[in-house]
Structure 1
Amino acid sequence: MNWTTLRQLVPHPGRSPDFAACLAAFPQLELARTTPQHPLYHAEGDVWTHTMMVVEALLAMPAYAQATRAQQEIVFLAALLHDVAKCSTTVIDPVTGAIGQPGHSRRGALDARIALWDAGVPFAAREAVCRLINVHQVPFFVLETSRRGVTPEFTVRELSWQVDIGLLAMLAEADIRGRICPDPQRVLDAIELFRELAREEGCYDRPRAFAGDHTRVKYFRGTEAHPDYPLFQEPGSQVIVMSGLPASGKNSWVEKHHPQLPVVSFDDARQALGLRHGKNDGQVGDYTQERARELLRKGLPFVWNATHLSTLMREKTLNLLYKYHAEVEIVYLEQTRKELLRRNGLRDTSLSNKKLQAMLWNWEIPLPQEAHRVRHIVA
């Protein structure tokens, strides 16, 4: 499977999908044939039946016909893979028999990322697909403030920095039209209101504008502010936060582009403490954080060099940096699987290739709203 092959799966408007070819391209979807769903919300039956109905609903939408070819490729693959992880997240209540698939959107984004990465799908297209999968249900509930804990305006503004709102609404609508459930019109109305809110915010087809990067970062981290009015930025360190799988080239990039800057590194901490990879990570983390605090208190620029692979891992680092008013740039590096394993095999490291590949299940790419600037450098 490669990108050329995958693009050929995407039907032009008025053409029918080749579902047999889709199954051949993504073998994990075969499991969808025998994956049950809650009959109240999916009376059509198994996940594969639902997936085919969603794809057919998408292809019948005028918005799909009006989309660019690149947009059609993204939204089609997102529709095809939007429930790819239901097979691995299904839980059945032993008492009531109720079926649920908690976390299937996040896990589906991870599954899709790995499959599309191995297929050589270009980074921008791949991540557009994965981001849509990750949030594909949000438009159903975006107007329910009490359920999400934030205002609809906040949700729409944040989503606009992650995905194309128009494509997300298209996917969400297809998801509802491609199932048998009670009162689908109520959800379709909610999706239409979601579209209208995004248009009112000026972010239907672009990220919501902010008065500045600092205002954006503070707003998305919970500060009460309005996007159109700048917040005062207190002086602090300028910090480059590295992100990427082991052997993706982070050390080389830092040595080449910022050889003069101090570096905070878990690897350096392990070396200083005489510990192997995976041993006493808590002690390594404490050592690293204290080194960072020393530099932050002095307001000095530095590089924080670590994998920072998941959103949770990055959040721990970012919480500390923003506490000290740092200005942050995230630099994410990526290689192919083949190149990663080749490089890792040549390194003097206790991290085996098997352990490296296990880290893929925490592989979440930095999103634009996480820092003042986010750069993705892909080989």
Structure 2
Amino acid sequence: MNYEMIRTLCPMEANVGYDWAACCEVFPRLHALETTPQSPRYHAEGNVGIHTRMVLDALLECDHFRAASGMRRETLFLAALLHDLCKPETTIVDPVTGEISQPGHSRRGAVDVRALLWRAGVPPELREAVCRIVAVHQVPFFAFDSRRGESPEFIARRLSWSLDLPDLICVARADMRGRACADQQARLDDIALFEQLAREDGCWGTPRAAASAHTRLMYARGSAVHLDTPLFQVQGSQVTVLCGLPASGKDSWVARHARGIEVVSFDDAKAELGLKHGENDGLAAHRAIDKAKALLRRQEPFVWNATHLSEQMRNKTLDLLYAYNANVRLVYLEVPCDTLFKRNARRDTTLRKADLERMLHRWEVPLPWEAHEVRYEVEPGGRSE
């Protein structure tokens, strides 16, 4: 599978359909959708394969998709095609009631789709646009009934900082139209209302404006602040947090850009303690965190060099930094698939290829609102198989 094969799947002209058999040939995991059941309450049409084809049919009828071209059209088609890719792996059948659910399929789907498209050499901009939609494709259904107690305004604003809301709404609307359920029209009405809210709030097709980067950051993290009023920022350390898979170039970045600056590194802590990969990570983390706290108390600048691969792992670091009023620049580094594995094989490291493969299942690229500044330094390239 490679990007050129994937590109041929998307109908790029009006009144041209898609080839489901070709889609399954390029993405073999789609075959499993045909035997994956769904709750009749939400999907009376049948299995996930039937639903996905109905979603694609609805997408092709959508005015937004019809008007789209180039990478945007590919984004919409791939997001609709792959939005439920992980339902087979997440399906749970209640042994008493027989109720079927697929908890977490959106977020896990985004992670798996990222790895698939990365291996295929899909351009990172296109890949991430697809993955960001997959990760939240159900959010517009429930924006007015958030389980987290978040307001629809908050949801729309934060989403606008990471993706294009018209694209998300297009896929969400196709997802809802591509099913048979009792509350279909009510959910379509909610999607339309969410769209109207985004339009009126100034985040339709553009990121919602904020008075400052610090104001946006604190708002996105849940602080009760007004986006149009600058929030005072207490002085703290200037911290650069590196993020990326092993062998993506973090050590090289430090050598080029952080001369004379203190570096906090789990790998350095492991080396100092004589630990191998996966051996007593807690002890190494404790050592690195103690060093970071000492620098934060002195308000000294430093670089935090670690994989920070998942949102959960990044938040552990970011929570600590923001508690000390640090100004944070998050630098995400990425290289093509072949480059990464070749580099890792050449490195003097205890990290095996199998370990690196497993890490792909936790790979979540940082979103623009996670820090005061987020930079994406991605080495171009592709892969053909």
State the TM-score, normalized to the length of structure 1.
0.98
Residue pairs, 1:123-272, within 5 angstroms: 123-145=124-146, 147-272=147-272
Structure 2: unaligned runs, 5 residues or longer: 380-385
Structure 1 counterpart of 2:28: 27
Q: What whole-Å deviation, never above 9, does each CA across 1:318-374 have from its counterpart, x for those lacking one?
A: 000001111111111111222111111111111111111110000000100000111
Structure 1 counterpart of 2:348: 348
- Matched-pair contact (CA < 8 Å) for 2:121–2:337: no
Is 1:53 the counterpart of 2:50? The answer is no
Matched residues in 2 for 1:330 and 1:187: separation?
37
Structure 2 counterpart of 1:329: 329
Matched residues in 1 for 2:168 and 2:80: separation?
10
Structure 2 counterpart of 1:361: 361
Matched residues in 1 for 2:361 and 2:112: separation?
8
| SS in structure 2 of the partner of residue 332 of structure 1 | strand
Structure 2 counterpart of 1:296: 296
Matched residues in 1 for 2:277 and 2:9: separation?
42
Is 1:92 the counterpart of 2:93? The answer is yes
For 2:254, the aligned partner's letter is V
Q: RMSD between aligned alpha carbons?
A: 0.9
Q: What whole-Å deviation, never above 9, does each CA across 1:156-198 have from its counterpart, x for those lacking one?
A: 1011111110011100100011001113110000000110111
Decide which moves more: 62-71 or 135-144: 62-71
Structure 1 counterpart of 2:382: none
Overall identity of the aligned pairs, in % = 55
Matched residues in 2 for 1:183 and 1:347: separation?
55
Matched residues in 1 for 2:223 and 2:47: separation?
43
Structure 1 counterpart of 2:80: 79
Matched residues in 2 for 1:14 and 1:183: separation?
30
Residue pairs, 1:100-111, within 5 angstroms: 100-111=101-112
The alpha carbon displacement at 1:148 in A equals 2.9
The alpha carbon displacement at 1:20 in A equals 1.0
Matched residues in 1 for 2:305 and 2:135: separation?
27
State the TM-score, normalized to the length of structure 2.
0.97
**Moved runs in structure 1, 4+ residues, more than 4 A?**
none
Q: What whole-Å deviation, never above 9, does each CA across 1:277-321 have from its counterpart, x for those lacking one?
A: 211111111111110011111111100000000000000000000
Structure 1 counterpart of 2:8: 8
Structure 1: unaligned runs, 5 residues or longer: none
- Matched-pair contact (CA < 8 Å) for 1:142–1:148: no
Number of equivalenced pairs:
378
For 2:14, the aligned partner's letter is P
Matched residues in 1 for 2:210 and 2:35: separation?
46
Matched residues in 1 for 2:234 and 2:31: separation?
54
- Matched-pair contact (CA < 8 Å) for 1:249–1:333: yes
